Amino acid sequence: MTAAVAPAQASRADAVLDINGLVRHFTGPAGTVRAVDGVSLSIGRGEIVGLVGESGSGKSTVGRCAVRLDRPTAGQVTINGRDVTRLSKRALRPLRKDFHLVFQDPSASLDPRMTVGAIVGQPLRLHRLASGDALRDRVAALLAQVGLRPELARRRPHELSGGQRQRVSIARALSVDPQLLVADEPTSALDVSVQASVLNLLADLQRERRFGCLFITHDLAAVEYLADRIAVMYLGQLVEQAPAAELFADPKHPYTQALLSAAPVPDPAAQRSRARIVLSGELPSPLDPPSGCRFHTRCPLAVDRCRTEPPVLRRLAEGSGRRQVSCHLVADDGTAPDASAPENAAAFRGP
Rounded CA-CA distance 337/82 in Å is 41
Instruction: Identify which has the larger pLDDT, 189 or 20.
Output: 20
Query: Residue 113 is which amino acid?
Result: R
- At residue 351, does pLDDT exceed 50? no
CA 132 from chain center: how many Å? 37
pLDDT at position 57 is: 93
Which residues have a Cβ under 8 Å from the Cβ of 139 and sit 6 or more positions away? 117, 120, 121, 124, 153, 175
Dump pLDDT digits (tens) for 133-180.
Answer: 999 999 999 999 999 999 999 999 999 999 999 999 999 999 999 999
Q: Which of 294, 323, 319, 287 lies closest to 308, judged by CA?
A: 294
pLDDT one-digit tens code per residue, 104-144 = 888 888 999 999 999 999 999 999 999 999 999 999 999 99
Give the containing element (helix H, strand E) for 257: helix 254-262
- Of the candidates 150, 156, 299, the residue with the CA atom closest to the CA atom of residue 239: 299
Q: Per residue in 221-271, pLDDT tens?
A: 899 999 999 999 999 999 999 999 999 999 999 999 999 987 766 555 554
CB 257 within 8 A of CB 338: yes
The confidence score (pLDDT) of residue 264 equals 66
